Structure 1
Amino acid sequence: MSPIIHTHSLRVRYGETDQMSVVYHTNYLNWFEVGRTELIRAAGLSYRQLEEKGVLLPLTDASISYKKPAKYDDVVEIRTHVELISPLRLTFAYEIVRLPDEELLVTGKTMHVFTTTDLRPIRLSKTEPEVYAWLEAQHKGEQL
Structure 2
Amino acid sequence: MSAPATHETKFRVRYGETDAQGIVNNSNYLSYFEVGRVEWLRAAGLSYRDLERAGYGFVVVEAHAFYKRAARFDDALVLKTSLADFGRASFWFEYEVLRDGETVATGRTRHGCIEIGTGRPSRVPEEFVARLSGSAP
Q: Same fold (TM over 0.5)?
A: yes
Q: Is the 8 A contact 2:127 2:136 kept in 1?
A: no
Q: CA deviation at 1:135?
A: 2.1
Q: Is the 8 A contact 2:17 2:25 kept in 1?
A: yes
* TM-score of the two chains, using structure 2 as the length reference: 0.90
| Higher share in strand | 2
* Residue 111 (1) aligns with residue 110 (2): yes
Amino acid paired to 1:122: S
Unaligned runs of 5+ in 2: none
Mapped to 2, the partners of 1:111 and 1:58 lie a distance apart of 8
Q: CA deviation at 1:43?
A: 2.2
Unaligned runs of 5+ in 1: none
Mapped to 2, the partners of 1:53 and 1:93 lie a distance apart of 26
Q: Is the 8 A contact 1:5 1:80 kept in 2?
A: yes
Q: CA deviation at 1:17?
A: 0.5
Amino acid paired to 2:127: E
The list of structure 1 runs, each at least 4 consecutive aligned residues, that deviate by more than 6 angstroms after superposition, is: none
* TM-score of the two chains, using structure 1 as the length reference: 0.86
Mapped to 1, the partners of 2:133 and 2:27 lie a distance apart of 29
Q: How much identity, in percent, do the aligned residues show? A: 41
Aligned residues: 133
Q: C-alpha offsets along residues 75-119 of structure 1, whole Å, 9 cap, x if unaligned?
A: 101111111101111000000001xx2110001100011110022
Mapped to 2, the partners of 1:25 and 1:82 lie a distance apart of 22
Mapped to 1, the partners of 2:120 and 2:136 lie a distance apart of 30
- RMSD over aligned CA atoms reads 1.7
* Residue 44 (1) aligns with residue 41 (2): no
Q: Is the 8 A contact 1:12 1:73 kept in 2?
A: yes
* Residue 56 (1) aligns with residue 57 (2): yes
Amino acid paired to 1:25: N
> Aligned residue for 1:32?
33
